[in-house]
Structure 1
């Protein structure tokens, strides 16, 4: 009878890049009673959504009373990957939030009778890059390289063990780089360069990388709320069209309404320079390939990305330009 009543959903990380967009989509959907997991009670942007102050998500949090009556949790809160981590023990910091906090929340969810726990993981659980002609699949053996990827893998392992122990359904989604209106980090930096007309040495990079537009990721998350076949599965997600760094920059320039000035520097030279400057990780993101196979997601859920790459880039660029002239 559960699917015939109005389900109560809790979205953690509700003020974050993914969490805020997810809440907006669920509010517009109108079928759910919604709770927003926030640090403080006054930080929820949606009047129809009940804020749930959660503080830090770690091993010490107690949210059992707030979880009573919740049907599903969409767990987007995390300590995210950062390029320049100043922590003295970054692996421990990632584990504190992404492993200990996630599993503490999940155990309390199972105790409170939550039916399904949807976890945003990362493609970094699979690894940092694919060879030419290859792509990561959802059921590949994990090969994380950095601390963030390791913490997400350990969280997945703990969730699967809890699933077997308690019967609570677990859904794991591993996105690659997510972009969309309000995107930060490297993608925002690229838009700033292109908007200013800065010449960039990325005109001859022939890699292939999977990305996912925020709207496409959100659509998959909402699909997993409803779909019975999503239970206890791991899914990869992308836009369904892989781009080289050069092609991405050219198409993003068009979306911004700006010409691109991409110098055709061979990637081998860029990689050598990055090695000298100890920027191998950045070089891998710019020059290396990382492709994901979403056939399992398509087949099991009858899901396809609803938004094409060019439309998603236009949406992203439009928001960026609006912020420039505020």
Structure 2
């Protein structure tokens, strides 16, 4: 199968391209940075990964999210509609549905994003869903939760550095439950969706089968690193006040980053597993995180 991928130079794009090639597929990388791009008309599917990621420092121009995440997606999808390509995978985000979650988020919940990032993703989704799909074409809107894997840089790497240096985790007083997504499970799901022509178009959330607390994550990191976990339960209100100071002084710990580190965000993956008729993903949440953490040691 010949597959076009945008954003192939990014973390997900590199891993997914490699996986698809290993499974015997031909992968075409399409850069949207130049205005004269065109879709490869001989492809069977387009996987649209390119986009502007959420800036937790809140310094990005809000309009830039819409120019990249919304307008470029619309232009790409319009070319797809006019082509003979049969499948379009748009990588959106669970943040297009909700910034905070009470209970378990699923695809039927009303979308109500509060950030320019989430709003730009949802606006693109709404356009795609509003268009009439010609016969023989399928549209998949993928909403992944926090993706991780070897080579990934982000909050997991920051947390690893804290634990690996023997420093205490000072946010242990915040109890939360979070969903993660191993890059291996993402690769597995995309390949299965490409191979299974019976899966209907629609919105699908991607997440590992089980959720973990940040304190669980600290324990996993400590175990992989051969360290003893140090969980400090400092008063949560005091920590929140310090984060607000960080908002003003542009410190590493600000309200947005504190929220990402301590909030609960549990995502259901039941819909995609039902569509694929599978009961569990190949990699458990703990196994995936252990693999990612081990890569930090290399």
- Name the TM-score, length of structure 1 as normaliser: 0.83
Higher RCO structure, 1 or 2 (CA under 8 Å, sep 6+): 2
Q: What are the residue-to-residue correspondences of 1:238-257 with 2, within 5 Å?
A: 238-257=207-226
Question: Do residues 176 (structure 1) and 142 (structure 2) align?
Answer: no
Paired residue for 1:4?
none
Over aligned residues, Cα RMSD in angstroms?
Answer: 1.8
Contact 1:129 1:291 survives alignment (8 Å): no
Choose the corresponding residue for 1:98, options 65, 69, 82. 69
Change (3 A) 1:287 1:86: closer
Contact 2:140 2:202 survives alignment (8 Å): yes
Equivalent residues, number: 290
Contact 2:6 2:32 survives alignment (8 Å): no
Deviation of the 1:267 alpha carbon = 3.2
Paired residue for 2:284?
308
Deviation of the 1:205 alpha carbon = 2.6
Question: Do residues 298 (structure 1) and 269 (structure 2) align?
Answer: no
Q: Which 5+ residue runs of structure 1 have no aligned equivalent?
A: 1-6, 38-53
Contact 1:171 1:224 survives alignment (8 Å): no
Question: Do residues 34 (structure 1) and 10 (structure 2) align?
Answer: no
Contact 1:176 1:210 survives alignment (8 Å): yes
Between the aligned partners of 2:199 and 2:6, the Cα distance in structure 1 is: 20
Deviation of the 1:202 alpha carbon = 2.3
Q: Which deviates the most, 145-154 or 188-197?
A: 188-197
> 2:208 is paired with a residue of what secondary structure?
coil
Between the aligned partners of 1:109 and 1:63, the Cα distance in structure 2 is: 13
> 2:85 is paired with a residue of what secondary structure?
coil
- Name the TM-score, length of structure 2 as normaliser: 0.91
Q: What are the residue-to-residue correspondences of 1:191-202 with 2, within 5 Å?
A: 191-202=160-171
Question: Do residues 81 (structure 1) and 54 (structure 2) align?
Answer: yes
Between the aligned partners of 2:221 and 2:204, the Cα distance in structure 1 is: 27
> 2:42 is paired with a residue of what secondary structure?
coil
> 1:171 is paired with a residue of what secondary structure?
strand
> 1:230 is paired with a residue of what secondary structure?
coil
Between the aligned partners of 1:165 and 1:312, the Cα distance in structure 2 is: 36
Paired residue for 1:111?
82
Deviation of the 1:276 alpha carbon = 4.3
Change (3 A) 1:36 1:152: same
Between the aligned partners of 1:97 and 1:166, the Cα distance in structure 2 is: 26
